[in-house]
C-alpha cells in the first residue's frame, strides 16, 4: 500500500449536467490518506492490509480486478483505515470488462463499519443510463439494501472504457460524481459518520485503478432544491386543469401561476427580459416560478445559457418559432426544455403536421399557439402525437373558458386573475378533457390480444391510440406479438425468433381466448399498419427488441404513416436509436419505479424523471403504480404528456384520473365509452327581461374521432348569479337586472364513481 501524507490541490466542485454549481470551503491543501495504482503489486495479490471479504478479487496487470459471476455471489474488498476517518474524498478509475446484464453494477463502498457492514456505497450499473442507473445505497445492520437516492448518467458504462468515480463525504452530506459530473447529492448519510472504504461488484467483472482517498476538511453546502419546484396554482375541482403561465405583459407574476413567459432581447453583453435586465428578472423568479424564455433573436444562445448556469437555473423552458435556436440551446445544455412558438395566422392540416415534426425534431415536447387559430380538431391531432399545447390568450372570462374547453395543457395569459377565477367555477370531479385512451394490445378483456379482431374492436370503441408489440421472426419479418414465445397466446410453442413467418402464421392466435375467435392469426406489422392507414387513430408501437428499430421505421415509411405512429420501449437505447433514425417520430420510455414517501423526495424524484425525459428526448411512459399526484402535476407544469400502463382494475384507474392522468393504457377501453368527450351549448349569450325564461339543452360530443353529437340529459347551474337568475333543470329564469354565468352539466357514472362534464358558460344578461 502506498500511503502518503502530502498535500493536494482540491478544486471547486465542477458544474455537472445534473446539478448546479456547488462550492465549498475545501482548503487548498488536504492530507492524502491513501493512494494506490497497483503497479507494484504482484498478480493474484492484494495491497498489504486490504481484505477480500467475499468472491474473487485480486490485482491483475496493475489493476484491482473484482469478478462476480452472479448477483448472489458479489465480490467485495475492504480497505481498513488506520485512523477513524469519515469526511473524505474517495475516488477511483472504474472499467467494466463484462456484466451478466445491464442492471449489474460496480461500487465504491465507504464509511464501512466493523470491516464488513453496515456501510454506504456509490453503485454504478453497467446500464448507467437507466432511470435508476446510479445509486446512493446503504447496506443496513440487518445486511439488507436500502436505496434512498437514485439517478442516471448520460450513457451506459461501455466495456473497456474507463470512468472516474468520486465520493465527497462530509457529515450527513454526500456528493457522488461520474467523470466530474455531480450525479447524486444527498443529506441522508448521517447514520455512519466514519469508517473504512472498499470496492464491490455484483454480476460483473470490473477493474479499479488510481485509487485516492483525501481528507475533506471543508463543508458541503445544503442540498440545493432548485429544480424540484412545484408552484401552487389556482384551486379547482376540474380534473387535469391546465397550468397557468404569466404572459409577457404581466409585470408582477400572479401568486397562483406556475410559470412566467419572458421575451429575451438585447445583446450578449446586455441581455433583456421583457425590457428589463434579464439577470434581475430571473433572480426575482428563482424558486418561485418556472421561467419560460421566448427567444427569437439568434446569437444569444451562449450568453443566455451561460447566465442560466451562472444563476444555477436549470428548470427552464426556451421557446422560439425558430427550431435552430431551440436546438442550439439544447446543444449547450440538454436539460433545458424546448418549446415551439407558433406565430402563424392559420392552422390547417399541413401546419399541424409541420408542428409535430418541428416539435419532435427540435427535441421539444410543447407548442405555444395563439387562441384565435386553435380548434378542437387541432388540439386532438397534436395531443394524440404527444405534443402538449399551451394556448396564448385568455384575456376575457369567455376566452379563458374557451381555452379550458379546448383542452389546452397550459394557458399563457396577460390576465391570470381571470384564469384563477374561472378555475373556481367548476363542480367536483369535472372532466373538461377526457384523457387520451390507448387500447393495450387491442381489447384483451373482450378479444384475443394482439389480433386484428382485437384491434378493430378497439377502434370501434373509440380508442385514441391502439397499442401493439413488435418482434422479428427467424426469417426477418416483423410480427405483432407480446411474449418472446408463442406459447401463451397461440396453440403453438417456441420462440418467435426461432420460428419463420410461415410457421407463426400457421398458428391459431384466437382459440385460447374463445372458440368464437378460432382462426385468428398473429398479424404482421404491415397488416396492422395497413388496417388503420388514413384513419383518425394513432398507433402506439412498442419495440420489444434492441435491433428492430430500423426495420420498424422503414415499414412505417413504406406505408406513408410517419404521422400516425408513436414509438415506445423499455430499452432506452432503442428509443435513442429511433430518435437518430427518425427524429420526427414521438417516442416514449417505458419504466416502473417506487413512489417516494415524503413530499421532498417526491419532488426530487419528479425532477430527476423529467430531466431524464428531457435529456433523452422521450416521454415518461411509466407504470401507473409509479405515478403520484405531484409527479403528474410536475410534468404538466413543464409541458410533458405521457402514457401510463396498464389499467386492469377500476379503483386505481379512477384514482389516477382524479390525480390528473392524461394518457391511460388499458385492457378495458370500454370503461371510458360512457364518458362524453365534450358538452356543447347552442348559444353562449342570452338576453332576458325580468320574469322571462329560456330553456337551454346541450348536446354531447361522444368521440374525439367522430364529428357526432348526441342528445344528453343535462341540468343547468349558476356559477356567479348574484340573484340575477335562477335555474330549474334546463330552464333559466330572469330575476333581477345584471349579468350571470350559467353552465350546463351532465353527470354520469364511470369506473364506479360519478363524474361531471360541463359546458362553456352562457353569459346571461337580464334587463
Q: Is the pLDDT of residue 722 over 70?
A: yes
Domains of the chain: 32-215 (2.60.120.560), 238-431 (3.20.20.190), 438-671 (3.20.20.190), 678-766 (2.60.40.10)
C-alpha cell at 65: 480486478
Contact call for residues 81 and 196 (beta carbons, < 8 A): yes
The whole-chain average pLDDT of the chain stands at: 93
Q: How many CA atoms lie within 13 A of 371 on its CB side?
A: 22
pLDDT at 9: 28
Question: Whole-angstrom Cα distance, residue 78 to residue 196?
Answer: 7
How confident is the model over 449-463, as pLDDT tens digits? 999 999 999 999 999
Give 434's pLDDT tier (boundaries 50, 70, 90).
Answer: confident
Percent of the chain with pLDDT over 90: 88
Distance of alpha carbon 511 from alpha carbon 518, whole angstroms: 4
Alpha carbon 418 to its chain's center: 30
Convert the pLDDT of each residue in 488-545 to its tens digit: 999 999 999 999 999 999 999 999 999 999 999 999 999 999 999 999 999 999 999 8
Average pLDDT for residues 92-100, to the nearest whole number?
A: 98
Of 14-18, 391-395, 573-577, minimum mean pLDDT range? 14-18
* Residue 350 a catalytic site member: no
**Is 746 noted as a catalytic residue in this protein?**
no
C-alpha grid cell, residue 456: 378493430
H/E element, 541 = strand 538-543
Q: How much helix, strand and coil, in percent to the nearest 5, is found in the chain?
A: 20, 35, 45
Confidence of residue 29 (pLDDT cuts 50, 70, 90): low
Give the pLDDT band of residue 30 (cuts 50, 70, 90). Answer: confident
State yes or no: pLDDT of 5 exceeds 70.
Answer: no
Q: Which residues contact 423 (CB under 8 A, 6 or more apart)?
A: 234, 235, 236, 238, 241
Question: Backbone dihedral region of 240: left (phi > 0), alpha (psi from -120 to 50 degrees) or beta?
Answer: left
pLDDT, tens only, 599-643:
988 999 999 999 999 999 999 999 999 999 999 999 999 999 999
Cα 492 to Cα 504: distance, rounded to the nearest angstrom? 8
Please, are residues 317 and 259 in contact by the beta-carbon 8 Å criterion?
A: yes
What is the CA 118 to chain-centroid distance, rounded?
A: 34
Grid cell at residue 378:
387541432
Is the predicted pLDDT of residue 708 greater than 60, yes or no? yes
**pLDDT tier, 705 (very low <50, low <70, confident <90, very high otherwise):** confident
Q: Among positive and negative, which fits the CA dihedral 360, 392, 256, 223?
A: positive
- Using pLDDT thresholds of 50, 70 and 90, give the confidence band for residue 2: very low
The string of pLDDT tens digits covering residues 62-85 is 999 999 999 899 999 999 998 899
Mean predicted confidence (pLDDT) in 476-497: 98
SS3 annotation, 290-333: EEEEEECCCCCHHHHHHHHHHCCCCCCEEEECCHHHHHHHHHHC
The span from the first CA to the last CA of the chain, in angstroms, equals 95
pLDDT at 423: 97
Q: 19-28, 281-290, 375-384: lowest mean pLDDT where?
A: 19-28
Q: Which pLDDT band holds residue 17 (cuts at 50, 70, 90)? A: very low
pLDDT band at 224 (very low <50, low <70, confident <90, very high): low
Question: Residue 226's pLDDT is what?
Answer: 54
pTM recorded for the entire structure: 0.89
pLDDT score at 719: 87
CA dist., res. 685 & res. 742, Å (int)? 10
Least confident residue range of 313-322, 325-334, 592-601: 592-601
- Whether pLDDT at 11 is above 90: no
- φ, ψ at 380 (rounded to 5°): -65, -40
Q: What is the pLDDT of residue 704?
A: 79
Considering 254, 294, 317, 482, which one is annotated as catalytic? 482
Predicted pLDDT of residue 10: 28
24 confidence band (pLDDT: 50, 70, 90): very low
pLDDT given at position 143: 95
Q: What percent of the chain has pLDDT over 70?
A: 95
Strands 196-202 and 105-112: antiparallel
pLDDT at 293 over 50: yes
pLDDT tens, 654-689? Answer: 999 999 999 999 999 999 876 888 899 999 999 999
Q: Is the pLDDT of residue 7 over 60?
A: no
Lookup: cell for 448: 384475443
The pLDDT tens digits for 376-402 are 999 999 999 999 999 999 999 999 999
- Burial string for 306-329 (b: 16+ CB within 10 Å, else e) reads ebbeebebbbbbbbbbbbebbbbb
Catalytic residue among 401, 440, 477, 644: 440
Alpha carbons 502 and 509: distance in angstroms, whole number: 14
Contact 329, 304 (CB under 8 A): yes
Q: For position 227, what pLDDT does the model report? A: 55
Grid cell of 70 as nine digits: 452472479
Amino acid at each position: 500500500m502506498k500511503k502518503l501524507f502530502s498535500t493536494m490541490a482540491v478544486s471547486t466542485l465542477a458544474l455537472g449536467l445534473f446539478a448546479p454549481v456547488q462550492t465549498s470551503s475545501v482548503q487548498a491543501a488536504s492530507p492524502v490518506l491513501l493512494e494506490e495504482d497497483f503497479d507494484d503489486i504482484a498478480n493474484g495479490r492484494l495491497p498489504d492490509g486490504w481484505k477480500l471479504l467475499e468472491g474473487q478479487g485480486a490485482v491483475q496487470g496493475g489493476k484491482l480486478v473484482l469478478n462476480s459471476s452472479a448477483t448472489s455471489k458479489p465480490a467485495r474488498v475492504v480497505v481498513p483505515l488506520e485512523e477513524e476517518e469519515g469526511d473524505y474524498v474517495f475516488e477511483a478509475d472504474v472499467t467494466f470488462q463484462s456484466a451478466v446484464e445491464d442492471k449489474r453494477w460496480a461500487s465504491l463502498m465507504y464509511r464501512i463499519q466493523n470491516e464488513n457492514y453496515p456501510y454506504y456505497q456509490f453503485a454504478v450499473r453497467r446500464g448507467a443510463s437507466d432511470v435508476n442507473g446510479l445509486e446512493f445505497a446503504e447496506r443496513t445492520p440487518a445486511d439488507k439494501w436500502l436505496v434512498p437516492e437514485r439517478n442516471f448518467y448520460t450513457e451506459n458504462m461501455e466495456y473497456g472504457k474507463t470512468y472516474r468515480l468520486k465520493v465527497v463525504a462530509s457529515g450527513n452530506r454526500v456528493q457522488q460524481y461520474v467523470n466530474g459530473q455531480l450525479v447524486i447529492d444527498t443529506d441522508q448519510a448521517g447514520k455512519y459518520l466514519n469508517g473504512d472504504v472498499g470496492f464491490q461488484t455484483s454480476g460483473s467483472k470490473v477493474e479499479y485503478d488510481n485509487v485516492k482517498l483525501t481528507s475533506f476538511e471543508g463543508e458541503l453546502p445544503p442540498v440545493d432544491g432548485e429544480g424540484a419546484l412545484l408552484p401552487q396554482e389556482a384551486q379547482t375541482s376540474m380534473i387535469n386543469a391546465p397550468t397557468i403561465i404569466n404572459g409577457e405583459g404581466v409585470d408582477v407574476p400572479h401568486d397562483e401561476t406556475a410559470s412566467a413567459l419572458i421575451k429575451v432581447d438585447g445583446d450578449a453583453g446586455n441581455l433583456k427580459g421583457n425590457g428589463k435586465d434579464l439577470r434581475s428578472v430571473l433572480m426575482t423568479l428563482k424558486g418561485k416560478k418556472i421561467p419560460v424564455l421566448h427567444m427569437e433573436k439568434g446569437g444569444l444562445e451562449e450568453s443566455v445559457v451561460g447566465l442560466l448556469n451562472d444563476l444555477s437555473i436549470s428548470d427552464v423552458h426556451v421557446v422560439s418559432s425558430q427550431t435552430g435556436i431551440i436546438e442550439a440551446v439544447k446543444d449547450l445544455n440538454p436539460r433545458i426544455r424546448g418549446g415551439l412558438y407558433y406565430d402563424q395566422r392559420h392552422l390547417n392540416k399541413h401546419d399541424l403536421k409541420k408542428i409535430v415534426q418541428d416539435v419532435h425534431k427540435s427535441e421539444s415536447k410543447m407548442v405555444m399557439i395563439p387562441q384565435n387559430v386553435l380548434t378542437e380538431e387541432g388540439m386532438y391531432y397534436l395531443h394524440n402525437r404527444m405534443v402538449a399545447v399551451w394556448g396564448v390568450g385568455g384575456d376575457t372570462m369567455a376566452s379563458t373558458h374557451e381555452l379550458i374547453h379546448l383542452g389546452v395543457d397550459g394557458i399563457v395569459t396577460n390576465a391570470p386573475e381571470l384564469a384563477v377565477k374561472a378555475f373556481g367555477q367548476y363542480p367536483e370531479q369535472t372532466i373538461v378533457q377526457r384523457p387520451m385512451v390507448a387500447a393495450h394490445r387491442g381489447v384483451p378483456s373482450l378479444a384475443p390480444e394482439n389480433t386484428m379482431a382485437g384491434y378493430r374492436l378497439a377502434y370501434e370503441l373509440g380508442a385514441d391510440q391502439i397499442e401493439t408489440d413488435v418482434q422479428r421472426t427467424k426469417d426477418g419479418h416483423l410480427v405483432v406479438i407480446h411474449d418472446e414465445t408463442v406459447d401463451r397466446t397461440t396453440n403453438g410453442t417456441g420462440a418467435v425468433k426461432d420460428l419463420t413467418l410461415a410457421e407463426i402464421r400457421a398458428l391459431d392466435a384466437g382459440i385460447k381466448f374463445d372458440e368464437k375467435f378460432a382462426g385468428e392469426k398473429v398479424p404482421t406489422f404491415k397488416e396492422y399498419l395497413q388496417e388503420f392507414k388514413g384513419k383518425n387513430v394513432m398507433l402506439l408501437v412498442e419495440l420489444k427488441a434492441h435491433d428492430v428499430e430500423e426495420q420498424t421505421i422503414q415499414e412505417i415509411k413504406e406505408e406513408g404513416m410517419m404521422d400516425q405512429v408513436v414509438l415506445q420501449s423499455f430499452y432506452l437505447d432503442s428509443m435513442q436509436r429511433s430518435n437518430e433514425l427518425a427524429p420526427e417520430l414521438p417516442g416514449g420510455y417505458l419504466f416502473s419505479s417506487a413512489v417516494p414517501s415524503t413530499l421532498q423526495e417526491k419532488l426530487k424524484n419528479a425532477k430527476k424523471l423529467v430531466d431524464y425525459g428531457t435529456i433523452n428526448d422521450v416521454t415518461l411512459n411509466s407504470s401507473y403504480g409509479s405515478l403520484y399526484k405531484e409527479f403528474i402535476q410536475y410534468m404538466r407544469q413543464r409541458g410533458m404528456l405521457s402514457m401510463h400502463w396498464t389499467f386492469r382494475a377500476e379503483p386505481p384507474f379512477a384514482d389516477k384520473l382524479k390525480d390528473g392522468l392524461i394518457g391511460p393504457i388499458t385492457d378495458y377501453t370500454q370503461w371510458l365509452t360512457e364518458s362524453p368527450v365534450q358538452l356543447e351549448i347552442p348559444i353562449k349569450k342570452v338576453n332576458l327581461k325580468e320574469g322571462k325564461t329560456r330553456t337551454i339543452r346541450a348536446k354531447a360530443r361522444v368521440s374525439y374521432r367522430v364529428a357526432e353529437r348526441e342528445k344528453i340529459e343535462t341540468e343547468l347551474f349558476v356559477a356567479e348569479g348574484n340573484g340575477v337568475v335562477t335555474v330549474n333543470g334546463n330552464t333559466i329564469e330572469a330575476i333581477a337586472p345584471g349579468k350571470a354565468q350559467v353552465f350546463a352539466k351532465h353527470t354520469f357514472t364511470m369506473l364506479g364513481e360519478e363524474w361531471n362534464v360541463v359546458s362553456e358558460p352562457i353569459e346571461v344578461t337580464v334587463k
